[in-house]
Copies of this chain bind each other. A is one copy, B any other.
Amino acid sequence: MTKLWDKGIGVNQQIESFTVGNDHVIDQELVYYDCIASKAHVSVLEQAGLVSSEESEELKTELNAIIQLHSKGAFPITREQEDCHTAIEEHLTKKLGDLGQKIHTARSRNDQVLTALRLYYRDKLQQIDTLRNQFMESIDHFVGSYGEIPYPGYTHMQKAMPSSFGLWGGAFIESMRDNGILLAAVSEIIDQSPLGTAAGYGVPLDIDRNVSAQELDFPRVQENPIYAQQSRGKFESLLIHLLSQISADLNKLASDLILFNMTEFGFIDLPEEFCTGSSIMPQKKNPDVLELMRAKHHVIKSLEYQISSMTSNLISGYNRDLQLTKESVMKALAITIECLEISVLLFKELKVNEDQCRKAMSKELFATAEAYELVKQGVPFREAYQQVAKGFTKGS
């Protein structure tokens, strides 16, 4: 046996390489999830009388064995197998004979992929949520050390009014807290069981989809099988949008720190072990890590856009185009996780250069306060504004 759909005709080799792509590589990420989903599916089959309880036991034992193998890096997927789903069914058939051939009853690779991905997304979202909390704590700790230090607040990249590192750090904490609201909603939407929707039109067999949903801790069943397929692309775009909200915050964080790190500002001190040098200029101490964090936001955003564009203008029902979304989501998840980890690390070491900050607190930052002093003395604001403004126009 090679592929699940193989009927013995053979596929042109170049075509095969084109269609399989690197699924057999990236699917290593999904082996565990497909095994636990397959175990839940076996429970469904058992409950429907399509396998006996002994058969169920045997299948689950063998699926556990695959999980064990995989955890030791000993469950390879070959290009001929195409993906983890074929590799797993092939393994079962090799070990259990006819019984292995029964596991695909009442499911399609379509709902199998959907289920494995959702379980995988759920785990990754939990990991991101944990990192989100660590991020807020690490800034909180930074604010504890440096929060009182003032620095110039900018608008239009011009000195505007006094700010402080407490205010600055607090902005990122509040934003990341709001990301938590979005994360919860995204989780709620994604966390529904597609298992049993088969190829998008259900199966003409009497099965109870609640059995697998409960075993896999899905709070609800995704009832409509066409919708299960339509949500491929929809959920991925939603998920990456969430990631892009996080990476947009990190993009701004990095943009601020790169500026503050310029010698013309000198507000912060990046530890030397975070910096890299130049191959030609001996003096350089470059904030590459911040520049890459800034840049990676665009990778994530482009992946959102890619998935959205790729899955539009298509009719409902599975189209192979959807398969390309898998690698893109995985990439976006990995980038977000790595960037959050780096951020947490960064705030443990980041120092504020108080002297430089205080030196930068020049007169114009207090012009608004000056106007408000006049307001307190009864001058209408707009008049006070004009009065103070005179002190800042040329020649005066």
Contact = CB atoms under 8 A, between A and B. Distances in A.
Given A162-B201, A312-B298, A157 B14 contact: no
Contacts of A351: none
A64 interface: no
B12 A274 contact: yes
Interface in A379-396: 380-383, 385-394
Interface in A126-160: 153-160
A61 interface: no
A274 B11 CA distance: 6
A117 to B, nearest CB: 16
Nearest to A293: B18
A336 interface: no
A68 interface: no
A72 interface: no
Copies of the polypeptide in the assembly: 4
A277 interface: yes
B174 A255 contact: no
Contact of A287 (B156, B272, B282, B393): B156
B345 A282 contact: no
29 contacts: A15-B273, A89-B382, A103-B381, A104-B385, A109-B280, A110-B280, A153-B200, A153-B201, A155-B229, A155-B318, A156-B318, A157-B261, A157-B315, A157-B317, A161-B200, A204-B369, A230-B252, A234-B245, A234-B248, A248-B312, A280-B385, A282-B385, A291-B319, A292-B321, A294-B313, A294-B321, A295-B323, A301-B305, A301-B309
B251 A99 contact: no
A306 B313 contact: no
A185 interface: yes
B292 A19 contact: yes
B289 A160 contact: no
A292 B19 CA distance: 7
Contacts of A9: 272-273, 393
Interface in A307-350: 308-321, 323-324, 338, 341-342, 345
